[in-house]
Structure 1
Amino acid sequence: MTLDDLEKIIAARASASPDESWTAKLLAKGPEKAAEKFGEEAIEAIIEAVKGDREKLTTETADVLFHLLVMLHSRGVTVDAVMHELECRQNQSGLTEKASRPKG
């Protein structure tokens, strides 16, 4: 499965009934709730990374990727747009890119 595949699955589930789909239920609660859920999953992945449990880190990372794409969907941001941004940064050092960002 690719991120594009996952994005398509999320888009399909978004139009389902919130009574029948976790994705639709989460999206019905709004972008803020989707962002909150993404944050919760990210924290759980961080905990497993610190603990060094590879199996749990793998499952939590799957949750992170899923909820990241749900959050992006909730704001109309596509995986293609994110990948384009990464491509733009590819030939630039991370330090240079960070220094070019506006302060504040």
Structure 2
Amino acid sequence: MSDEDILDELFDLIEERKAELPEGSYTTSLFTHEKGENAVLEKVGEETTELILAAKDDDTDEMKAEGADLLYHFLVLLSMKDVTLDELRDELGERFGEH
């Protein structure tokens, strides 16, 4: 994976896992968890808290790790809600694309 395409490739993998639900996949477990969407929302909250704590501790390595975890779970949430990365990019473009 190239650095520039990593989010697209990760999102594509998440979408693939959502469609195929392969056994043994952590992503599959998020889509099939008995608590459903709430399981992912809890992970987003948990990772957000851990990122905040790492930032307060000035632990940049932990911030990167928790930030990556948060981003992954956010992408799963987008997929659950059928929101694409292009739609997210469009929203960001509307807000920040034209100054």
Q: TM-score, normalised by structure 2?
A: 0.83
Deviation per CA, 1:8-65, whole angstroms, max 9, x where unpaired? 1111222223x41111111112222211111111111111011100111111111011
Match of 1:12 in 2: 16
Specify every segment of 5 or more residues in structure 1 that has no aligned partner in the other structure, as ranges: 93-104
Distance of 2:63 and 2:57 partners within structure 1: 9
Please state whether the residue corresponding to 2:53 is helix, strand or coil.
Answer: helix
Q: Comparing 22-31 with 44-53, which one deviates more in the overlay?
A: 22-31
Query: Any stretches of 5+ residues in structure 2 without a counterpart?
Result: none
Equivalences, count: 91
Asked if the contact 1:31–1:75 (Cα under 8 Å) also holds between the matched residues in 2, the reply is no
Identity of aligned residues (%): 35
Paired position in structure 1 for 2:88: 82
CA distance in structure 1 between the aligned counterparts of 2:67 and 2:17, rounded to whole angstroms: 20
